[in-house]
A and B are shown apart, each in its own frame.
Chain A
Amino acid sequence: MNKPLRRIAIFCGLLVLSLLLRDNWLQYVKADTLREDPANRRVTIARYSTPRGDIIVDGNPITGSTAPRSSGLNDLKYKRTYKNGPMWSPVTGYASQAFGANQLESLEDGILTGNDDRLFFRNTLDMITGKQKQGGNVVTTLSAAAQKAAYNGLKAQGGKGAVVALEPSTGKILALASYPSYDPSAFAGTSNTDAEAWKKLQKKYNPNDPMLNRALRETYPPGSTFKVVTAAAALENGLYKSADENTDSPLPYVMPGTTTELKNEGSIPCKNATMRIALRYSCNTVFGKIGADLGNDKMLAEAKKFGFDSEQFTPVRSSASVFSDNMNQSQTALSSIGQFNTAATPLQMAMVASAVANDGKLMKPYMIDKLQSSNLDTVSQTDPEEMSQPLSSANAQILQSMMETVVQDGTGKNAQINGVTVGGKTGTAQHGVENSANPYAWFISYAKLPDGSKPVAVAVVIEDDQANRDDISGGGLAAPIAKSVMEAVINSKK
């Protein structure tokens, strides 16, 4: 019987050998794939196993990490906390144990958890010295005072809206507020309360859609604020050489190729008005005709230089603002006064104001100043970067003087600040079927200090379902918020 016994011995050996081979396949060849599989809960466990790094504004963290007292079955140790969550959530995004992460929390997850390759040396050192791995910090460009002014302004107003403030000379984002907003602390954990809070915030259950970041992700028809872009196109293309040259503008103005009259709001002195007068009174006829005269191609080229038709990465992505191509003359005329297909994010309109204020140079908007390791060494620093030059320095100064007139004598009087020159433009954009819905109130502006520096450019938009239609005008609703944001920036510089 011994011959078959020896064969059985070999058979048993082969059984074990096949297991050994399978194990090598599993634990050596496939190990990394399995270990890093996002569905492998160990990835999430690792993310929350150490205190997460912080997002910092003006030197103070606006986030935190707590290790809740053993909350039963939760295998995730540290939970994200937010200071004044609703105010800052358009900046931070959220990091939730149950619902993942977005915006800065997701984009800079590597730095915040400490897993980024750039922290490798630091981590190795910590491992040798036996210190716990710690996440690094994300230092933002934001200004706490400006953000507070923006958020509180929107909140007091009560309608949906958004504010973006930029530093024109660098492109730093100073304020990025959206209302209504949400508190990411509410669903940072895994409990039923968290799940309930998350559910309540979803658009399906909450028509106000508080989790929409209106400052970056919502596009609105920019209305009359777009006339700044049209004016820039007129100057750049040499259609008109100065602000005080009479334009060739008939009143009433029938759009080319149609029998439709383009109307102004009220009876305002728009016939052959100068661009300064036209911007001050917000003449649709003048700027509509400029757009039609320049044509689709030239208007589109100018709008693109301001950043239209492309997504911006701050690094949080913003939606692309729209200025259409292949339009006929009348459509171009409508588009040039911020109607028809034209749509812009609040960030985009802040970029327009910023480029004009910065003497024609558009700086790339950004919100991360630098990334730090846990011991505050700088891992990487963002340098201001010129994105484009939509208009020459001379033309920019002409446009500035026009915008300053708007605030001095025109529709933007509500934004005046004592001892500071403010340039701005109001906008009241109609939308809805037959323009039946309540219009959006816009205001874009910048502040110029006596020393000639321009520390801030702002864009404010308010969509208010409740308000009386007559009350909605950029000057009435949006300009006061822009003013308080500019004041906050100026005061914090002092």
Chain B
Amino acid sequence: MSSTTNTSTNHTSTIGSIGTPSRRNTELALLVFAVAIPVFAYANVGLAINDKVPAGLLSYGLGLGLLAGVAHLAVRKFAPYADPLLLPLATLLNGLGLVAIWRLDQSKLLQQLNVAGGKATNQLLYTAMGIALFVAALVFLKDHRVLQRYTYISMAGALVLLLLPLVPGLGADLTYGAKIWIKVGSFTIQPGEFAKIVLAIFFAGYLMVKRDALALASRRFMGLYLPRGRDLGPIIAVWMLSILILVFETDLGTSLLFFGMFVIMLYVATERTSWIVFGLLMSAAGAVGVASFEPHVQQRVQAWLNPMKEYTLSQQGVIGHSEQSMQALWAFGSGGTLGTGWGQGHSELIRFAANSDFILATFGEELGLAGIMAILLIYGLIAERGVRTALAARDPFGKLLAVGLSGAFALQVFVVAGGVMGLIPLTGMTMPFLAYGGSSVIANWALIGILIRISDTARRPAPAPAGNPDAEMTQVVRPS
């Protein structure tokens, strides 16, 4: 990819000039597949469940196609040098998620439980809102470095978002345990999904300024560079924040995600391995400490270690136990290598959250090992394109923001998929793009929008002469 950049720098063409290898046509071709595959899957579900091509196929296909088209045109116009893979990959996942949600909408059981039924239409609406935010990010955020100005506002914003679910009357206790939703009118919002992006902006802005202090002013001890006491402040603060989330919102996933994201960004900013060691030690201490007195966390760990016992207890009607973990494992196992095919599995047995937290089990049962491997690779590809963007970015803020967002994305995929597949204890988060839920879809489209903006800046041929060509260097030495 860097060779592409080099070749384009050789041209003396100006920004956005026609004929430069912007890869927009590659993106368009991939998008055609990213829309066609879900449309085909949608027809498959209808044929399997009702023996006929679903009536909504045309409107669904047109809807998804239109949204993808609008997003593509926006990228073509406002970020012509953006990474060509991010948009098609996200579109494909979003489209497949819609199909799975529609498939679960057909389940009478889930309709009765009010878990499914008409949710695909809602999700299409959320997708439209997500794409709108994506386009808005491209239109209004001409340069991602603008976000740097909002470093401390972001911090305040993130704190407010995270604390919202704890406000009495606003927090909605939707599931057993995790308090991560707020209720506004008839909508429920998961502020944590948005906080993820806002926190990444704060971390990137803060670390860009402080990184030299954190990296250089340290003592060497037993092969590790120990930070000075006062530089430990921020990491302690974030650690405390994570612990507080874990204690008050009983949300293991979110606290793991934020702390992991911070450690990744800290490591990238300072290039000091010692931070990773500290981070791991602190997160382990925090997790064990909280687990020792928080019954909700203990129960999740028990369910992870012995899902069958948990299932039996839930069948006996013992309050506070859930059959979901075992049902998800059965769904995966019953899918086997090739899966039952769309619409022919029984993942509705998972009941509650079958189309949100546990949607991966539906894919596992109906598309099998093959389908899950493909989906995991798509997620992996998105994360790697994000890190690639960070590598290509020319400014440290862009690098940090890009790696923070893609690292958080990868961590979230790992925590959710690992939880559903029984690799780690289950947490209350959702698969980006696949799962039902407005907050998740909208926030992740915004995340992709920001990555696309950074990648556009990174891959743009020859920095604009009108801009500040020495931005990077001056920023390094600029005092805070």
Contacts and interface: CB of A to CB of B under 8 A. Distances in A.
Nearest to A34: B333
A3 interface: yes
B240 interface: no
B311 interface: yes
A12 B418 contact: no
B373 A23 contact: yes
B380 A75 contact: no
Contact of A19 (B109, B403, B418): B418
Nearest to B315: A39
Contacts of A42: 330, 334, 346, 349
A8 to B, nearest CB: 6
B338 to A, nearest CB: 10
Contact of B421 (A22, A37, A39): A22
A52 B271 CA distance: 67
Grouping DSSP codes into helix (H, G, I), strand (E, B) and loop, the B interface class, with mixed when no group exceeds half, is: helix
A26 B333 contact: yes
A1 B410 contact: no
Given A18-B418, A22-B421, A27 B268 contact: no
B384 A40 contact: no
A98 to B, nearest CB: 13
A99 to B, nearest CB: 15
Interface stretch (B92-100, B281-289, B364-372): B364-372
A5 interface: yes
A418 to B, nearest CB: 61
B427 interface: no
A42 B366 CA distance: 13
B305 interface: no
A312 to B, nearest CB: 36
Given A5-B391, A6-B391, A12 B380 contact: yes
B390 interface: yes
B191 interface: no
Nearest to B109: A73
A30 B346 CA distance: 18
B376 A26 contact: no
A362 to B, nearest CB: 46
B219 interface: no
A70 interface: yes
A6 B399 CA distance: 12
A5 B334 contact: no
Contacts of B403: 5, 8
A45 interface: yes
Contacts of A23: 332, 364, 369, 372-373, 376, 421
Q: Is the interface of A mostly helix, strand, loop or mixed?
A: helix
Contacts of A24: 369
Given A27-B333, A31-B333, A16 B376 contact: yes
A1 B399 contact: yes
A26 B329 contact: yes
A483 B161 CA distance: 87
Q: How large is the interface on B (under 10, 10 to 19, 20 to 34, 35 or more residues)?
A: 35 or more
Contacts of B372: 23, 27
A5 B349 contact: no
A15 B414 contact: yes
Contact of A16 (B109, B377, B387): B377
A2 interface: yes
B337 A28 contact: yes
B383 A16 contact: yes
A125 interface: no
Given A2-B391, A4-B267, A5-B268, A73 B413 contact: no
A20 B373 contact: yes
Nearest to B275: A4
B241 interface: no
A296 B379 CA distance: 80
A28 B376 contact: no
B406 interface: yes
A70 B379 CA distance: 40
A395 B329 CA distance: 66
A33 interface: yes
A73 B423 contact: no
Contacts of A9: 384, 387-388, 391
A22 B109 contact: no
Contacts of A16: 376-377, 379-380, 383, 410, 413-414
B336 interface: yes
Interface string B262-288: 001001110100000000000000000
A15 B268 contact: no
Given A2-B391, A28-B369, A12 B330 contact: no
Given A15-B414, A19-B413, A23-B376, 16 more contacts: A1-B269, A8-B264, A8-B403, A12-B380, A12-B387, A16-B380, A16-B410, A19-B376, A23-B369, A27-B364, A27-B369, A34-B334, A37-B330, A39-B311, A41-B330, A70-B108
Interface of A: 1-9, 11-13, 15-16, 18-20, 22-24, 26-28, 30-35, 37, 39-42, 45, 70, 72-73, 75
